[in-house]
Chains A and B, each alone.
Chain A
Amino acid sequence: MNQNVFIELINPFKDKVFRLAKRLLTSTEEAEDATQEVMVKLWNKKENLDSYGSVEALAMTMTKNYCLDQLKSKRAGNLKIVHSNYTDREPQLDKKLEDSDSLEWVEKIISQLPEQLQILIQLRDVEQYEFDEIAKIVNMNETAIRVALSRARKKIRESMLNTHRYGIQ
C-alpha cells in the first residue's frame, strides 16, 4: 500500500478520529497529537489492514484506547487538563453570543459525563454511527449501548434543564 492509497483510505474518518480525541482529551493540540499517533500506528500496520473488518472501526477503537490511556497516565501524574486553558484555534462560528454560550454549556455538561458515556454520545449523536458499528468500536452489545446512551442523554437533559431554569428563576 503506498501513501496515496493510505491517505485515501483514512480521509473519510480522519476528522472523526480527531473529534473523538478532542471529546476525551479536551484540548485541540492533544487531540491532534492523538490523531497523528493513531494514523501513524495504522500506517505501520498497513500490510495487514485487510485482515480487519473495518479500518474505520479499528481506527476509532485505537483512538478510544489511546485517549483513555492518555487520560489515565495524566491522572496518575496528578495532572488534570483544565478546560479553560485551551482555546479553539478555529475561528468562532458566527453564532450569536447567546447561542454559542449555551452550546458551550452543552460541551461542559457532556465533559462531566463518565468517559464511556462521552464516547457513546460522540459516536452516536455527533458522528451518527449505527449501533452495530458502535458495538464493534467499544466492544459492547447493542442493548447495553442503548441503555447507556439513554442514560447519557437523560443526564444531559437534566443538566440542561437546570441551566435553563437557572436563567429564569
Chain B
Amino acid sequence: MEFNKIEDILEKYFQGETTIAEEKELKDYFSSPNVAQHLEQYKPMFGYFSQVKEQKSTHPIPLKTKKRNVAWLSIAASVVVLLGVGTYFYVSEKNAAPVVAQSELGTYDDPEEALAATQKALALLSSNVNVGIESVQYIKEYEQSKNKIFKQ
C-alpha cells in the first residue's frame, strides 16, 4: 500500500510532475527509519536535499561600509574645502595690512626731512657698494705682480 503510493510519487517525481507537497512526502518518507529495501537507493538523494537546506551563511553582510565611506568622504572633502578657503582669506588679509602700512611709511610731508632721509639711504647704499670695491683692490695687486713678471 504505502510502497505503491511512494512508488507512484517517485515515478511522477522523475517525470518532473510532482507538486511541492508530494516532494515533501517523499523527503519525509526517505528520512524515516523504515524505508523499503528496494527503495533504499533513493535515500541519500532525498537525505542530501534536506541536509543541504540546513547550510547557512555565517558572514555578516557589510552594508554600512560602502555607504558610510561615501558619507565620510564628503564630510572630509567639505572640511578640506572650508579649511582651504579659510586659510586663503586669513593669509590674504594678513598680507593686505602691511602693504597699506608700507605705502604710508614711504612718504614725507617735509621736504628737508625727505632730503635727509634720501641722503641717509644713498649713503648706506654707497658704503655698501664700497665694500665691493675694496675687494676689487686685491685684483689690482695681482695685476701689478703679473706685470712685474711678464714684462711687456
Contacts and interface: CB of A to CB of B under 8 A. Distances in A.
B23 A153 contact: no
B53 interface: yes
B69 to A, nearest CB: 12
A22 B63 contact: no
A19 B44 contact: no
B63 A103 contact: no
B14 interface: yes
Interface stretch (B54-62, B86-94, B101-109): B54-62
Chain A interface size band reads 35 or more
Given A14-B57, A14-B61, A22-B55, A103 B44 contact: yes
Interface in B14-36: 14-17, 20, 23-24
Given A32-B57, A36-B59, A36-B62, A146 B16 contact: yes
B41 A35 contact: no
Chain B interface size band reads 20 to 34
Nearest to B65: A40
Contact of B44 (A39, A43, A102): A102
A36 B59 CA distance: 8
Contacts of A130: 20
- What is the predominant secondary structure among interface residues of chain B facing chain A? helix
Nearest to A88: B55
A37 to B, nearest CB: 10
A131 to B, nearest CB: 9
A79 interface: no
A160 B63 CA distance: 42
Contacts of B5: none
A49 to B, nearest CB: 14
A85 interface: no
A14 B57 CA distance: 8
Interface of B: 13-17, 20, 23-24, 41-45, 47-49, 51-59, 61-64, 66-67
8 contacts: A15-B55, A18-B55, A35-B59, A40-B61, A103-B48, A146-B17, A156-B45, A164-B41
